[in-house]
Amino acid sequence: MEFLAPEWHRQLPSTSTVLLERLRQGEVLPSGFVLAAHEQTEGRGRHGRRWLSGPDRDLTFSVLLRPATDLPQLLSLPMAVSLALAAAVAGRGVQARTKWPNDVLVGGRKLAGVLTERDGERVVVGIGLNVNASAEDLAEVGQPATSLCLETGRQHGVELILAEILLQLARWTRLWEDQGFAGLRSAWMGHCVGVGAPVTIRDGAIWRRGLLLGFGRHGELLLGGVGTEPQPIWSGEIETWD
Ligand code: BTN
């Protein structure tokens, strides 16, 4: 997939909310359109959580995709995005891991988050990356978090990082569109936390515990229990891993 030069705004409530709203109002935008904001006032995370970011401090943007794929394949789109983010920060010397299905961590602390929302055949992928946040800034987040600045000991320009991420996104989403999870499998296995270990998976109010055996054809998580067949998990996220 190819991405266009980002449409940058000084301030938006949320790049994902605004992009979805523009689509619903009938604006015709091409696949690969990128909406970025130097500041979000109402950033959204997954499960109705807030996404906190600072003005000119962190990277917040959303991309529009019209993937020519079936529904099961969409499950692994956030995994392709997470791998693209890990590849982009590796270019700045940061070795990140992924957490099924769509988090990017360094040393168990969250560096970036991905929010995928579907509107018919259109998908809006919102990405938040902690760039220049200090430990004090991140104390507000409510979960262990880190930033590129904390990991590298220097400040980073958000516009340049976005350009680097878009190059990686083009590469990983192309691979994903052509091959689905099969194209991601080996990189995913090399990056995902908890593989082969006991994990806790949370899907809303449902908690499951078992051994993370691996991933199925579409990227569904395979959870093992004592004396039971591997159970495919299609939604939720890893909460704890040993
Ligand atoms: C998560 O880990 O909970 C997902 C966080 C996604 C945050 C990004 S920032 C850009 C886009 N706009 C939003 O309001 N949310 C996403």
Taking only the tens place, the pLDDT of each residue in 181-216 is 999 999 999 999 999 999 999 999 999 999 999 999
Provide the b/e sequence for 134-162 (b: ≥16 CB within 10 Å).
Answer: eeebbeebeeebbbbbbbeeeebebeebb
Asked whether 126 lines ligand 1 (CB < 6 A), one says yes
* Tally of structural domains, the chain: 2
How confident is the model at residue 91, as a pLDDT?
A: 97
Query: Taking the model in full, what pTM does it have?
Result: 0.96
CATH number of the domain where residue 202 is located: 2.30.30.100
Amino acid at 139: A
Mean pLDDT of 54-61: 94
Q: Judge whether 1 lies within some domain.
A: no
Asked whether 46 and 117 are in contact (CB, 8 A), the reply is: no
Q: What is the pLDDT of residue 142?
A: 85
62 Cβ closer than 6 Å to some ligand 1 atom: yes
User: How far apart, in whole angstroms, are the C-alpha atoms of residue 203 and residue 52?
Assistant: 23
Residue whose Cα lies nearest atom 15 of ligand 1: it is: 44
Which of the two residues, 72 and 23, has the higher pLDDT score? 23
DSSP, collapsed to helix, strand or coil, labels residue 156 as: coil
Same domain? For 142 and 214 the reply is no
Q: How far is the CA of 91 from the centre of ligand 1 (A)?
A: 22
Residues 209 and 104 in one domain: no
How far apart are alpha carbons 218 and 56 in whole angstroms?
A: 37
Ligand 1 centroid to 32 CA: how many Å?
18
Are 154 and 70 within one domain? Answer: yes
Please state, in angstroms and rounded to a whole number, the distance separating the CA atoms of residues 23 and 26: 5
Ligand 1 mean position, distance from CA 27 (Å): 22
Is pLDDT at 161 greater than 90 in this prediction? yes
Residue 209 structural domain: 194-241
Kindly report the average pLDDT of the chain as a whole number. Answer: 96
Between strands 221-224 and 231-233, the pairing is antiparallel
Residues 105 and 223 in one domain: no
Residue 225 confidence class, pLDDT cut points 50, 70, 90: confident
User: What pLDDT does 70 receive?
Assistant: 86
Higher-pLDDT residue of 147 and 70 is 147
Looking at the structure, tell me whether residues 38 and 143 fall in a common domain: yes
Of the pLDDT bands very low, low, confident and very high (cuts 50, 70, 90), residue 141 is: confident
60 CA → ligand 1 middle, Å:
7
CATH number at residue 88: 3.30.930.10
